[in-house]
Amino acid sequence: MSDAPRAPITAIDLQTDRPHSARVYDYIMGGKDNFAADRDTAATVLADWPGLRTSMLANRACMHRMARHLTGLGVRQFIDVGTGIPSSPNLHEVVQDTAPDARVVYVDNDLIVLMHARALLTGTPQGRIAYIQADMRTPEALLGDPTLHEVIDFSRPVALTVIAMLQFVEDAQAVVDALLEPLPSGSHLAITIPTDELAPESERLAREYTSRGIPMYLRGRAEIERLFTGLELLDPGIVPMPRWHPGPDERPLPDTATNMYAAVGRKP
């Protein structure tokens, strides 16, 4: 269950006059928690690349596979950075399906995400889930949040999942290094991350997001490899998302149908 302390929500400025990445994603995926600025941004990027929704669906499917894989490796603690507006099945539903005692802390910096997380994120009685409002660009504040330490035992392995979020950080290396530093041996880093090396539309997508106040940074494979410095890359390494442990019933997608690499590494 989610039993972490909850701060009151008062005098919230949702900044509905400007797009937010979580709400743009929500609209493209068919959600209802978005505003005109988000819908306008989504309409423009979809006009440039109608396949973006396919890529987003592939990203979500990849997250589910990663969660199941890590649970199968015995991981029982997850910190999910950049949660987004809840959409079932969420990460905790996937991991607690096979590991009811799993603990999950969701992290996001959007207040709409906070409100919906409080209403929708309920887990098993054996496990724990919590949500904290924090910005991954200030990892010291994120890591210092008391709720994080109430739910996560930092003496045991943790899976740090950063799914389709590092494109919104200029210095992704510094963020990843800071978030991994306190995690013990046996912890894992799981990421999906946009690149300009797969779908040719990626550069136009990044320019459009950036022009609308959501800076987006695309990474090549070599830069993504550096994010895993000091970690042991799990099979199959850094690959286009559909190639990361596809399920037997999943229809294969060409590499150019998505714009993200996927990878998981283990901290020795």
Q: How far apart are CA 133 and CA 54, in angstroms?
A: 29
Q: Which residues contact 31 (CB under 8 A, 6 or more apart)?
A: 85, 87
The helix-helix angle for 36-48 and 52-72 (nearest 10°) equals 100
CATH number for the segment(s) 21-266: 3.40.50.150
Q: If you average pLDDT over every residue of the chain, what do you get? A: 90
| Tens of pLDDT, residues 132-145 | 999 999 999 999 99
* pTM of this structure: 0.88
Tens of pLDDT along 51-88?
999 999 999 999 999 999 999 999 999 999 998 887 77
Determine the length of the chain: 268
pLDDT in tens, 104-139: 999 998 777 777 776 656 677 788 999 999 999 999
Q: How confident is the model at residue 9 (pLDDT cuts 50, 70, 90)?
A: very low
Nearest one of 7, 24, 172 to 84, comparing CA atoms: 24
